[in-house]
Every structure is written in C-alpha cells, then in structure tokens.
Chains A and B, each alone.
Chain A
Amino acid sequence: MNVLLTPEALLAIFTLSMQIKRQIEAARGGPATDEEILLALDADVARAQGKFDEWLAAHPKTSE
C-alpha cells in the first residue's frame, strides 16, 4: 500500500514524536523521592486530563 503524506503531515508526525520523546525522558529523569513522585503523579494526571477534556469538548459526537 502506498500512502503519500504531505510535508505538513510529516511535520505533524515529527512534532508528535518529539512531544512523546520528551514525555518519556521526563519519566526517566524524573522525581527521586517519595514526596516528589506523589506530586509529579498529581501534576501529570491533571495536565493529561485537562488536555483530553479539551480535545473531547472540541470534538463532540455528532451521530447521536
């Protein structure tokens, strides 16, 4: 199967890959104490939840 991607699409994929890489690196070099890990977990949960809630609000179901 041949799929032709536009330069914008390739840029989007590259940007996405860099974003994920940063998240993985943050997880590796992250908090080193019990207190720090609890705070980091709370912060990550709040950030991700806010981001996904925002996307869901912008893309409501239209078939119902």
Chain B
Amino acid sequence: MRSLLRKQQALLCIVLAALTLSACAANRPPSTIVTPAGQASWYARKAVLGFEALGDAAIGLNAVVACNPECKPLVSTDATRAIVVVSRDAIMALGRAPEGWRVVTTEGLAKARSSLDAAGQKELGQWLVLIEGILKEAP
C-alpha cells in the first residue's frame, strides 16, 4: 500500500513538473506578427490560455476525491467557483482589451491568489506559476 502511495505521488509530481516546465519555456511572438496590436494580442492569447488552464485545473481537481482519512475534493467547490469566476472575468477582459493584457493578467493573478485558501494554493500553485511565467517572459 505504501509503495502504491509513493508511485501515485511520484506520478502527480512528474505531471505537474512537466506541465510547469513546458509552459514556462521562453517564447516570443513570431516575426510575422508585426503590428503592436498583433503582438499585444499574441501575449493576451497566451494569458487567455493560462487562465483557461487554471480554471480547467480547478474544475478537474474539484472532481477528484481524495481520502485522508475523510473523503473530500482536492479543491473545494467554493474555491473552484471563485477560480472559475476570476479566470472567466480575466479572459473576457483580455478579449475586450488585449493591449491591456499585462495589467489584466497581474490583477487576475492577485484575485486568484486571494480567493484561495492554503489548501487551494497548494493544489493550484503550479498553475499560478504558469501564468506568472507569461508575465516574466514578456519584454
């Protein structure tokens, strides 16, 4: 039983680490996107996909029930709802004004962090790091 637990924990760590590494690799708009509006939209789209991944992660982890010893979702439904609302609002704002992507992303991240309790931050921290990576790689 202990061996099974270790294997499951290792699998989780591998999946999360691979996701974070692949998402945070340096990336810039292709040279064929030439206008400032196009380049802003390129970063805005990355942020949209980041917030979508965050919301998807919350929904997915809400559907996973872990027993230790009592059984409950890895992320509570209330926390999931808060994250989904923050992600949806950030995505809509990015769609309306892609040129403001940096401000929207920064504010969305702050709201996501503040809406999570300690357990939620632990489970979703990797996805918050993913979105922070988008901010860091931009000029």
Show the binding face of A for B, using Cβ within 8 Å.
1-6, 9-10, 12-17, 19-21, 23-24, 26-28, 30-34, 37-38, 40-42, 44-49, 51-53, 55-56, 59, 61
Contact = CB atoms under 8 A, between A and B. Distances in A.
A17 to B, nearest CB: 5
B110 interface: no
Contacts of B12: 5, 13
B60 A12 contact: yes
A13 B66 CA distance: 12
Nearest to A23: B49
B59 A55 contact: yes
A41 B41 contact: yes
Interface of B: 1-2, 4-5, 8-9, 11-12, 15, 18-19, 22-23, 27, 29-30, 32-35, 37-38, 41-42, 44-46, 48-49, 51-53, 55-57, 59-61, 63-68, 77, 80-81, 84-85, 87-88, 91-92, 94-95, 98
A12 B64 contact: yes
B32 A32 contact: yes
A34 B66 contact: no
Contacts, number: 140
Nearest to B86: A52
B97 to A, nearest CB: 11
A31 B7 CA distance: 39
Contact of A19 (B32, B56, B61, B66): B56
Nearest to A38: B41
A56 B81 contact: yes
A53 B88 contact: yes
B55 A37 contact: no
Nearest to B62: A59
B58 to A, nearest CB: 9
B12 to A, nearest CB: 7
Given A9-B65, A34-B37, 13 more contacts: A2-B2, A4-B67, A17-B18, A19-B56, A20-B56, A20-B57, A24-B22, A26-B49, A27-B46, A32-B33, A33-B32, A37-B33, A56-B84
